[in-house]
């Protein structure tokens, strides 16, 4: 393998793939990246056996070949090089890296020891626009669980209802659902949140369509020259739609930014009580207020004028409320609940494609 590539392109490719290289695994080669010539392009790939990312970039190829080298070392080294052309040359199991100012050698491992994710053959395929997927991931990933004792809750469910694709996540304390777009085939995928965080990074600057292919065990996302393959989570996702209330006895519609502000201030006084705040809505005075008490620091009351229906109060985790509000970008938001023991629902009052449900705390 001998080729020339620009520092900018190689640095960007390593930045996308090297993070999944597993430095703590039992297989040392998983801490390496695979460099391989495919056609007249350089493929850079890494895997941790659950997620694999590969990126192809243009190169001036003189001879073909393949080699794996330590991901962290190569990434940090290339990142520190000045912009310009880099020459890569394989010498058995060593990689020679040459620029105008540097002549370096990195010891590698033969590429035939590098594990490859199985190909997805005969799977289901569909497309989704990158801006729509970016927005959906931003809005639902916050609700996915990090508790490995319930693996199904550490994923995001992508599924179709009447031909419409939805993404949903819950950690049993809160739930987020986003309506995406119509897709031509039936979809039911439980994708690890960790893989979707990598998808977020990959599509951060991408504006085209994302190609999605999946079978019963894996899903592949392709954005331009970058491809991610992830193993799906096995198991049955809870029927979360049963948690969505059909209606509310108490609702308030108000400016989202104002509710964010008073929740932030109130959360300062809620630190002692694990973020517990009391949200009250009063129809006669058309007001919402948030009350927080800290025995050591004092207490806080904050009030806003709202369009209210019904009256009542409920105790919530201030962080969960803030997360839900900040996942939206609408000017106004609607908050609804039924008594102190049932879930609160946040919706965008200008659109019905996103909902965020928060379970109450015991008051």
The CA distance from 188 to 167, in Å, is: 10
β-pair type (103-107, 94-98): antiparallel
Q: What tokens does 22 get?
A: 């597993």
Query: What is the structure's pLDDT at 363?
Result: 63
Please give the backbone phi and psi of residue 290, each rounded to the nearest 5 degrees, phi first: -120, 130
- Let me know if the fold of 2-113 is the same as that of 244-358: yes
Domain extents in the chain: 2-113, 124-242, 244-358
The CA distance from 215 to 259, in Å, is: 43
Burial class (CB in 10 A: 0-12, 13-18, 19+), 83: exposed
**What are the residues whose beta carbons fall under 8 Å from the beta carbon of 265, sequence distance 6 or more?**
300, 302
Q: What tokens does 124 get?
A: 């289901």
Query: What is the structure's pLDDT at 225?
Result: 94
- CATH architecture observed for domain 244-358: Roll (3.10)
Query: What is the structure's pLDDT at 269?
Result: 84
Query: What is the structure's pLDDT at 66?
Result: 95
Residues, the chain, total? 363
pLDDT along the chain (363 residues), means of 10: 95 94 82 93 94 95 94 95 94 93 93 87 90 96 93 96 95 95 92 96 93 94 96 94 90 95 89 84 94 80 93 94 94 93 90 93 78
H or E element that contains 328: none
- Integer-rounded Cα radius of gyration of the chain: 25
Quote the CATH superfamily of domain 2-113: DNA Polymerase III, subunit A, domain 2 (3.10.150.10)
Fold exhibited by the domain 124-242: DNA Polymerase III; Chain A, domain 2 (3.10.150)
**What are the residues whose beta carbons fall under 8 Å from the beta carbon of 329, sequence distance 6 or more?**
none
The CA distance from 269 to 256, in Å, is: 21
pLDDT tens string 110-131: 999 899 888 888 788 999 999 9
Q: Is the C-alpha dihedral spanning 64, 66, 67, 73 positive or negative?
A: positive
């Amino acid at each position: 393998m001998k080729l020339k590539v620009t520092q900018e392109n190689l640095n960007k490719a390593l930045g996308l793939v090297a993070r999944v290289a597993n430095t703590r695994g039992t297989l040392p080669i998983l801490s390496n990246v695979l460099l391989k010539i495919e056609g007249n392009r350089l493929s850079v790939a890494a895997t941790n056996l659950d997620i694999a990312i590969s990126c192809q970039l243009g190169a001036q190829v003189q001879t073909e070949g393949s080699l794996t080298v330590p991901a962290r070392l190569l990434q940090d080294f290339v990142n520190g090089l000045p912009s310009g052309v880099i020459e890569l040359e394989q010498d058995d199991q060593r990689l020679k890296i040459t620029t105008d100012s540097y002549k370096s050698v990195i010891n590698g491992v033969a590429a035939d020891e590098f594990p490859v994710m199985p190909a997805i053959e005969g799977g289901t395929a569909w497309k989704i626009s990158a801006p729509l997927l970016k927005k959906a991931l931003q809005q639902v990933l916050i609700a996915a669980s990090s508790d490995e004792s319930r693996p199904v809750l550490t994923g995001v469910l992508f599924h179709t209802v009447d031909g419409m694709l939805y993404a949903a996540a819950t950690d049993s304390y809160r739930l987020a659902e986003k309506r995406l777009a119509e897709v031509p085939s039936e979809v039911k995928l439980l994708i690890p949140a960790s893989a979707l965080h990598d998808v977020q990074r990959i599509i951060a600057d991408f504006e085209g369509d994302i190609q999605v292919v999946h079978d019963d065990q894996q899903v592949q996302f392709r954005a331009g020259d970058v491809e991610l393959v992830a193993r799906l989570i096995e198991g049955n996702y809870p029927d979360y739609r049963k948690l969505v209330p059909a209606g509310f006895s108490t609702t308030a519609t108000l400016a989202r930014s104002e509710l964010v502000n008073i929740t932030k201030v109130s959360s300062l006084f809620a630190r002692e009580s694990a973020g517990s705040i009391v949200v009250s809505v009063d129809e006669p005075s058309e007001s919402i207020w948030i009350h927080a008490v800290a025995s050591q620091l004092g207490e806080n009351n904050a009030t806003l004028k709202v369009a209210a229906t019904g009256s009542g109060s409920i105790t919530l985790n201030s962080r969960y409320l803030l997360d839900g509000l900040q996942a939206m970008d609408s000017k106004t938001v609607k908050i609804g609940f039924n008594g102190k023991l049932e879930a609160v629902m946040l919706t965008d009052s200008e659109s019905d494609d996103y909902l965020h449900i928060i379970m109450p705390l015991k008051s």
